[in-house]
Amino acid sequence: MSRSPSLPDRPRLDLDPEMSDAERLEAIRKHFERLVQVNRELDDRLNDARGRHQELTGDVDRLKRRNEALKTSSLYVATVEELTDGEAVIRQHGNNQEVLTELDETLAERVEAGDRVAVDDSFSVQRLLDDETDARAQAMEVEADPDVTYDDIGGIGEQVREVREAVEDPLDSPERFEEVGVDPPSGVLLHGPPGTGKTMLAKAVANETDAAFIKMAGSELVRKFIGEGSRLVRDLFELAGEREPAVIFIDEIDAIASKRTDSKTSGDAEVQRTMMQLLSEMDGFDERGEVRIMAATNRFDMLDEAILRPGRFDRLIEVPDPDETGRAEILRIHAADMSVADDVDFDALAAELDGYSGADIAALATEAGMFAIRDERTAVAEADFQDAVEKLEEAGDNDVDEVPGVTDYRY
């Protein structure tokens, strides 16, 4: 924020009793001139301040309007289960909570059991959703202002640097690319084992550039929205255009962009159509625009070469499991808000966690905190971290897919 320059000093009149009348008159005349000058300077300052005040009032009004719009626009999606006289039992998606709510007269005439509706915080039905809006809402996760920052990401400094260069710079300073006459990378593909911070990287870059974060999970497209994949991909790019600046993040892109197989089942044909739509959206895409595309996969080996061609995902960034120093960094990040006893040595602990991903370390920190709470202590001690390691590793013996150190990295 700019600081105002300091105010001119207030002129002082010092009259020496020894002065002659003429000298005194001259001193008073000079003092008067100085007063007039300071007055003029203060007038100018006042005018500047009034101008700035007007600008800031404009900003405040704009922010207030935006705030109101944000407050009023967040609605939840629910399904109408049953209808009674003017009332409906609705089930909110996500938490499956069932609520009885009154319907407004005009809605009561139109709503039928099985319809999808948008409800506000007090479960009052605001509108009837058509199928299209509903699928869009479910298939895409939109965060206007994600709260992940680069400081929340540990152990992958080099990858952070590469992402900033490939995604942040073209959004922040497109003119630099124009001046030099090169096109920024079209799409950035993050590949590596699960839970290493790929989604965090995409969110952090959106946060840093004040861009909206729009995520679509490839696996959901093929599992939940059968027959709608290609339309949803088109919608995804359309939505990003409406919300620009925006970062599109396609997670588990392997689900829609795997190597072609010879199988002719209708499911495969549908996946192919979805991928073709993605390729055509990327081909028709303005690389210098305000929308950046990122994707992630932990099945890099499965990807169809077509999506890696120039103009498509042409910047590949590998995000590996963290090394020992990285693990210590991630431990410190996740313990930053915890009250930790002096005996905890993060470096020594990190050395023991070979094979742990960032997500495993986050789970470990939470688990250690739980041990301290169970013991009614206010600080997490070294023993809690050790108990947490043991617990997670025991769980690992039972469930290979979810466990640190023994995760099934098909990657």
Q: Which is nearer to ligand ATP, 107 or 247 (CB)?
A: 247
Q: Which two tokens stand for residue 232?
A: 């949803």
Q: Which is nearer to ligand ATP, 275 or 330 (CB)?
A: 330
Q: Which two tokens stand for residue 242?
A: 């409406």
Please state the closest distance from residue 388 (CB atom) to ligand ATP, in A. 15
Please state the closest distance from residue 367 (CB atom) to ligand ATP, in A. 13
Please state the closest distance from residue 300 (CB atom) to ligand ATP, in A. 12
Choose the stretch contacting ligand ATP; rule: CB under 6 A; options: 39-47, 152-160, 180-188, 342-350. 152-160
Nearest to ligand ATP by Cβ — which residue? 358
Q: Which residues are CB-contacts of 122 (< 8 A; sequence separation ≥ 6)?
A: none
Please state the closest distance from residue 403 (CB atom) to ligand ATP, in A. 14
Contact 377, 337 (CB under 8 A): no
Please state the closest distance from residue 296 (CB atom) to ligand ATP, in A. 6
Cross-strand partners of 316? 189
Q: Single out the residue of 325, 337, 338 nearest to residue 369, CA to CA.
A: 338
Q: Which two tokens stand for residue 405?
A: 């150190």
Give the chain's end-to-end CA distance (angstroms, integer): 47
156 binds ligand ATP (CB under 6 A): yes
- Contact with ligand ATP (CB under 6 A) among 195, 218, 229, 404: 195
Choose the stretch contacting ligand ATP; rule: CB under 6 A; options: 7-15, 57-65, 139-147, 151-159. 151-159
369 binds ligand ATP (CB under 6 A): no
Strand, helix or coil for residue 60: helix
Say how far apart CA 75 and CA 136 lie, in whole Å: 14
- Contact with ligand ATP (CB under 6 A) among 135, 188, 189, 200: 200
194 binds ligand ATP (CB under 6 A): yes
Q: What is the CA radius of gyration of the chain?
A: 30
Please state the closest distance from residue 126 (CB atom) to ligand ATP, in A. 31
362 binds ligand ATP (CB under 6 A): yes
DSSP 329-340: HHHHHHHTTS-B
The tally of CA atoms less than 13 A away on the side-chain side of residue 159 is 26
| Contacts to ligand ATP from residues 24-53, by CB under 6 A | none
Say how far apart CA 347 and CA 354 lie, in whole Å: 12
Query: By the criterion CB under 6 A, which residues form the site for ligand ATP?
Result: 153-156, 194-200, 251, 296, 298, 330, 333, 358-359, 362
